[in-house]
Chains A and B, each alone.
Chain A
Amino acid sequence: AQTVTQSQPEMSVQEAETVTLSCTYDTSENNYYLFWYKQPPSRQMILVIRQEAYKQQNATENRFSVNFQKAAKSFSLKISDSQLGDTAMYFCAFREDQFYFGTGTSLTVIP
């Protein structure tokens, strides 16, 4: 069965610093999509970034970038220049016939 593992339940980072959230997944498929979603406190879940498995180039969206290691089935999220508004629960997700989500990493940005 497909699984998504986020091994860091909680993390914290100083404002303006860089933090990396880890995610590993398991699949036998060759073509799939990976996503990071952000859920701020009491607010809606929003898409942060996505990666297509057949693209070797790591996706980047402003301060957010991923380190996609297909052979290792690893998909980490790097947040640069952390801001207070980055405080949220972050979910890694993998899509085949449905979406599979990790259990989330609660990130706190400290002023």
Chain B
Amino acid sequence: KAGVTQTPRYLIKTRGQQVTLSCSPISGHRSVSWYQQTPGQGLQFLFEYFSETQRNKGNFPGRFSGRQFSNSRSEMNVSTLELGDSALYLCASSLATLAASSGANVLTFGAGSRLTVL
């Protein structure tokens, strides 16, 4: 079956612009979580959506937002881009919500969207 699909794969923006990234999870997966990956910082949790509801949010400013649609596809938006937002943004899907005590919470990652802010 198809994996996690992220679009676009690469994009270049300038400071002050906004960007929207898309993630289509594995069929049947209802949880989508987003991560920011930068060198030396590893992966930082942005937020998780499950059944169209935001279940948890990481320590990022309000410029970072997201949503999930009824088909479980998710988008994240970053407004008023800053140079420090340059990163690889990873989306991951999971069968169950991350907070559930279940081995079904294994993450399957997409290839990522590499954002460069100039």
* Chain A residues in the interface with B (C-beta under 8 A): 6, 31, 33, 35, 37, 43-47, 50, 52, 91, 93, 95-104
CB distance from B93 to the nearest CB of A (A): 12
Determine whether the beta carbon of B103 is less than 8 Å from that of A97. no
Question: Could you give 21 example pairs across A and B, Cβ below 8 Å?
Answer: A35-B106, A44-B109, A45-B92, A47-B107, A47-B108, A93-B43, A95-B98, A97-B98, A98-B33, A98-B45, A98-B48, A98-B98, A98-B99, A99-B33, A99-B98, A99-B107, A101-B35, A101-B43, A101-B45, A103-B40, A104-B42
B residues near A100, Cβ cutoff 8 Å = 45
* Interface 1/0 per residue, B87-118 and A, CB below 8 Å: 00010100000110101011111111000000
Q: How large is the interface on B (under 10, 10 to 19, 20 to 34, 35 or more residues)?
A: 20 to 34
In this assembly, does B41 line the interface, its C-beta being within 8 Å of a C-beta of chain A?
Answer: yes
A residues near B107, Cβ cutoff 8 Å = 35, 37, 47, 99
In this assembly, does B18 line the interface, its C-beta being within 8 Å of a C-beta of chain A?
Answer: no
B residues near A50, Cβ cutoff 8 Å = 103, 106
Determine whether the beta carbon of A91 is less than 8 Å from that of B111. no
CB distance from B89 to the nearest CB of A (A): 13
A residues near B8, Cβ cutoff 8 Å = none
Determine whether the beta carbon of B101 is less than 8 Å from that of A31. yes
Determine whether the beta carbon of B109 is less than 8 Å from that of A33. no
